[in-house]
């Protein structure tokens, strides 16, 4: 597995690259935004680990440009401690998960593996999270082998949470996913849909992440 590491801090970068190498990953290390975009344009990566505080071009802009160019590589963003706005903006820009500095390398590696597994699941047209199975093209949801019939918007919301797993999705990202830019729901529409999903899946499946949004956590 090949990972693009974008981090300007030498201490963090060396630690992360060493940890990845010891666990069987190949890591290409870029120290600024433009170099990262050049690497994406010329190489194939299974994951990008992206610091937001980069020189020359900040991480959010790197992420926006990467998504605009059509790069679908999973992205794990690294953010400063307690920077809630950075997390929300990163998720809205297309990040798949975030990790707050300072972080334990064991947690970092677990999130890396989870994001790669999730991307592999998307390639097989089935998302598997514990006992939950989602088949986007077939519009099917199964929980513990039992099919759940969900209204369109609940399905879209669940699918968006699943594609973000194990990361969180902001409320604005969920609204855009199920309503689009031209259509809007009521101010509490997301909360209503979340309530209905918790009732059908079980309350343990969806966690509220204070200051960010919601996370699908499984059973």
The pLDDT tens digits for 9-52 are: 999 999 999 999 999 999 999 999 999 999 998 888 999 999 99
Question: Looking at the structure, do residues 117 and 170 belong to the same domain, yes or no?
Answer: no
On whether both 103 and 140 belong to a single domain, the answer is no
Q: Which residue has the higher pLDDT, 138 or 114?
A: 114
Q: Would you state the pLDDT for residue 182? A: 45
Q: Are residues 36 and 94 in the same domain?
A: yes
> What's the pLDDT band for 69 if we cut at 50, 70, 90?
confident
Q: What is the pTM of this model?
A: 0.60
Q: What's the domain range around 194?
A: 126-216
Enumerate residues 6+ apart whose C-beta is below 8 A from 84. Answer: 211, 212
Domain identity same for 18 and 102: yes
Tell me, yes or no, whether 52 and 158 share the same domain.
Answer: no
87 and 139 fall within a common domain: no
**Final residue belonging to a domain, choices 75, 93, 121:** 121
Do 139 and 72 belong to one domain? no
Question: What is the per-residue DSSP string for 123-175?
Answer: HTT-EEETTEEEETTTTEEEETTEEE---HHHHHHHHHHHHHTTSEEEHHHHH
Q: What is the pLDDT of residue 197?
A: 95
Asked if 193 and 98 sit in the same domain, the reply is no
Task: Report pLDDT for 83.
Answer: 67
CA dihedral angle for residue 91, residue 92, residue 95, residue 101, rounded to 10 degrees: -40
- Looking at 72, 106, 121, the residue that finishes a domain is 121
Domain count, the chain: 2
34 near 56, Cβ under 8 Å?
Answer: yes
Q: What DSSP assignment string belongs to 37-83? A: HHHHHH---SEEEEESS-SSS-HHHHHHHHHHTT----EEEEE-TT-
Which one of 87, 121, 155 terminates a domain?
121
**Co-location of 116 and 166 in the same domain:** no
211: left (phi over 0), alpha (psi -120 to 50) or beta: left
Domain at 67, CATH number = 3.40.50.2300
138: domain CATH number? 1.10.10.10
Residues 134 and 106 in one domain: no
Q: Is the pLDDT of residue 181 over 50?
A: no
Other C-beta atoms lying within 10 Å of the C-beta of residue 33: 24
């Amino acid at each position: 597995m090949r990972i693009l590491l974008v981090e300007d801090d030498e201490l963090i970068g060396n630690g992360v690259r060493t940890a990845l190498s010891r666990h069987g990953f190949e890591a290409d290390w870029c120290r600024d935004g433009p170099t990262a975009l050049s690497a994406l344009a010329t190489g194939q990566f299974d994951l990008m680990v992206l610091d937001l505080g980069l020189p020359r071009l900040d991480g959010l802009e790197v992420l926006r440009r990467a998504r605009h160019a059509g790069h679908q590589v999973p992205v794990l963003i690294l953010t400063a401690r307690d920077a809630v706005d950075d997390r929300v903006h990163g998720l809205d820009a297309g990040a798949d998960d975030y990790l707050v500095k300072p972080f334990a390398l064991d947690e970092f590696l677990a999130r890396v593996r989870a994001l790669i597994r999730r991307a592999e699941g998307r390639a097989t047209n089935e998302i598997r999270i514990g006992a939950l199975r989602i088949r986007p093209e077939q519009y099917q949801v199964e929980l513990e082998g039992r099919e759940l019939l969900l209204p369109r918007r609940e399905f879209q919301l669940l699918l968006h949470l699943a594609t973000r797993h194990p990361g969180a999705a902001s409320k604005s990202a969920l609204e855009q996913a199920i309503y689009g830019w031209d259509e809007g729901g009521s101010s509490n529409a997301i909360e209503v849909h979340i309530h209905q999903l918790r009732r059908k899946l079980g309350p343990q499946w969806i966690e509220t992440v204070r200051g960010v949004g919601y996370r699908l956590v499984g059973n």
